[in-house]
Amino acid sequence: MVRSHDDFIAPYSLDAAPVRGRVVRLGAGALDPILRRHDYPRPVAMLLGEALCLAALIGSLLKADGRLIVQAQGEGPAGLLVAEHNAGALRGYARVAPGAAERLADAGRMAPAELLGAGNLAITLDYGDGRPTYQGIAALDGETLDSCAQTFFRVSEQTDTGIRLAVGEALTRDAPAQWRAGGMLMQRVASDKARGDTSEDWGRASHLFATVRDEELIDPDLAPDRLLYRLFHQEGVRMGQAAALLDRCSCNEQRLEAVMLSFPTTEIEDLVEPDGMLHARCQFCARSYWIKPPAGETPE
């Protein structure tokens, strides 16, 4: 069942405190198909769902369209995780080491470092129009992905930021379980002559923000505007216009063909399948492509 208050992101602000933020909710349209497509072990699916929420939260802060990529990499059983937000489109991928899926089959939520191994969280902004790519890095040393992301903002951006992420499966009568996720981001507006010192207001808002529970973030019957009111009604909370989020991959045949045909001739010859075509599969959306090699590359 697709709900009207799922699969979107919206800004919010507080009248009584110099605080701005974003709230995101993912469900049947933008999260469940991504996680079901690859049948990840539960802890991997949960971490990837959190990463997709994080990518949407940070990507929605951009003042111009661009790809916001959250990537975590290490030497653990799931050594690579990538989540991408691009103008409302989401896609994600995780690489699970051979044999690790069986070991993780009965596991629950795991700390990023335990699942990914010792490594880093990288957040990359790519505008794709010739402008330099920006990247910030933080260590995967927090108990949760949101704590690692808060470290990123504190160290790389030097901005007071609160982040909460939650992922789970909703069980409904006569329907299969469905992956859901929710998240919130809250940032302090800097002090200035008009506002004065904002530290006390930020502390009060942070205390309220810390009370949000995982089940509230993903509750299919609790709309995000009601959640915001529950948390911040005394502060005069306002939720702005929501933007839709979609499960949509950016792969296409022309781009993939250009990449594959850029390989040296000898490598292309080795990649040609018995049917005379080059076979490729997108790691994100699992779509398969059959590409005709250049003339003369088809084996006899």
In the chain, the domains with their CATH numbers are 8-247 (3.55.30.10), 253-291 (3.90.1280.10)
Task: Render each residue's pLDDT in the chain as its tens digit; 300 residues.
Answer: 445 679 999 999 999 888 999 999 999 999 999 999 988 999 999 999 999 999 999 999 987 788 999 999 888 899 899 999 999 999 999 999 888 888 888 888 888 989 998 888 999 998 877 778 889 998 888 899 999 999 889 888 788 999 999 999 987 666 678 999 999 999 998 766 666 677 889 999 999 999 999 999 999 899 999 999 999 999 999 999 999 999 999 888 787 777 777 778 777 788 888 888 888 888 888 888 888 887 655 544
- pTM of the predicted model as reported, rounded to 2 decimal places: 0.88
Q: Pick from 243, 293, 255, 214: which is nearest to 89 by CA?
A: 243
Return phi, psi of residue 257, to 5°.
-65, -40
Strands 89-95 and 246-247: parallel
Q: What is the dihedral sign for C-alpha 53, 141, 161, 125?
A: negative
Q: Which residues pair with 65 in a beta bridge?
A: none
